[in-house]
């Protein structure tokens, strides 16, 4: 089993990476493989709403990030989406990537347990978590929690060592995610399949 740890920061060795390392360490103890997928500092375009992905099954813009994420989602069994907080919201780049990845590749995330993490110097974590959680809760993804909201504090990675509560939240989150993944795997091995999807009804508030 594998967990994809999406890092919505530009910084390879920043605070968000440190939080994900704590999660990765516990997943390894639980016998679960993980990979940090860094969004990084390359140019990323927004979703333009062209809907070409409906036919293609991937994003029409081949800028090397979104379609790579969709490909990795296909072979992942769980996810953590982590972001630094910018002006009390998630990084603009993680939103650009997730808008496109979920629109084009939603079915590859569905029924896989996941959670979100926000890293800030001081404020804006819960508002950021609310935004990221919405990708999961519109995609049939079981949302895994910890013993507190999934935030951790620091301006730079080294600061996170002082946030012992934050590091513990990350470890508990990882253990809970591993447990949910193992329960799903056990169910699958005993004939318990994911629920059948009804055909989507769209009422667009047009009368």
Q: Please give the residue ranges that form the binding site for ligand FMN (CB under 6 A).
A: 9, 11, 14-16, 84-88, 119-124, 154-155
If the CB atoms of residues 84 and 113 are measured against ligand FMN, the closer one turns out to be 84
Q: How far is the CB of 111 from ligand FMN (least distance, A)?
A: 29
If the CB atoms of residues 47 and 94 are measured against ligand FMN, the closer one turns out to be 94
Torsions phi, psi for 43 (to 5 deg): -60, 135
How far apart CA 180 and CA 178 sit, in angstroms, is 6
If the CB atoms of residues 40 and 142 are measured against ligand FMN, the closer one turns out to be 40
DSSP annotation string for 144-199:
P--SS-SEEE-SSGGGGGG-HHHHHHHHHHHHHHHHHHHHHHHHHHTT-PPPPPPP
How far apart CA 53 and CA 103 sit, in angstroms, is 7
Q: How far is the CB of 15 from ligand FMN (least distance, A)?
A: 3
Q: How far is the CB of 167 from ligand FMN (least distance, A)?
A: 14
If the CB atoms of residues 87 and 179 are measured against ligand FMN, the closer one turns out to be 87
Q: Are strands 2-7 and 33-38 parallel, antiparallel or unpaired?
A: parallel
Q: How far is the CB of 161 from ligand FMN (least distance, A)?
A: 13
Question: What Cα–Cα distance (Å) separates residue 164 from each residue in 80, 94, 191, 193?
Answer: 20, 26, 41, 39
Q: How far is the CB of 25 from ligand FMN (least distance, A)?
A: 17
If the CB atoms of residues 48 and 123 are measured against ligand FMN, the closer one turns out to be 123
Which residue of the chain is nearest ligand FMN when measured via CB?
14
């Amino acid at each position: 089993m594998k967990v994809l740890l999406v890092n919505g920061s530009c910084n390879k060795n920043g605070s968000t990476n440190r939080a994900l390392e704590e999660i990765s360490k516990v997943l390894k103890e639980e016998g679960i493989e993980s990979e940090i997928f860094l969004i990084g500092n390359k140019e990323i375009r927004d979703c333009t709403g062209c809907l070409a992905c409906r036919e293609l099954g991937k994003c029409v813009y081949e800028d090397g990030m979104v379609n790579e994420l969709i490909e990795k989602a296909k072979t992942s069994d769980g996810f953590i989406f982590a972001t630094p907080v910018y002006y009390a919201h998630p990084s603009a780049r993680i939103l650009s990537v997730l808008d496109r990845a979920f629109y084009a590749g939603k079915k590859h995330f569905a029924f896989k347990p996941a959670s979100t993490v926000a890293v800030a110097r001081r404020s804006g974590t819960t508002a950021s978590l609310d935004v990221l959680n919405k990708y999961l809760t519109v995609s049939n993804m079981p949302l895994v929690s910890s013993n507190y909201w999934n935030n951790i504090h620091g301006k730079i990675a080294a600061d996170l060592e002082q946030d012992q509560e934050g590091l513990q939240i990350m470890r508990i989150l990882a253990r809970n995610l591993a447990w949910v993944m193992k329960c799903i795997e056990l169910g699958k091995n005993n004939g318990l399949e994911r629920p059948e999807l009804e055909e989507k009804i769209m009422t667009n508030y047009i009368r």
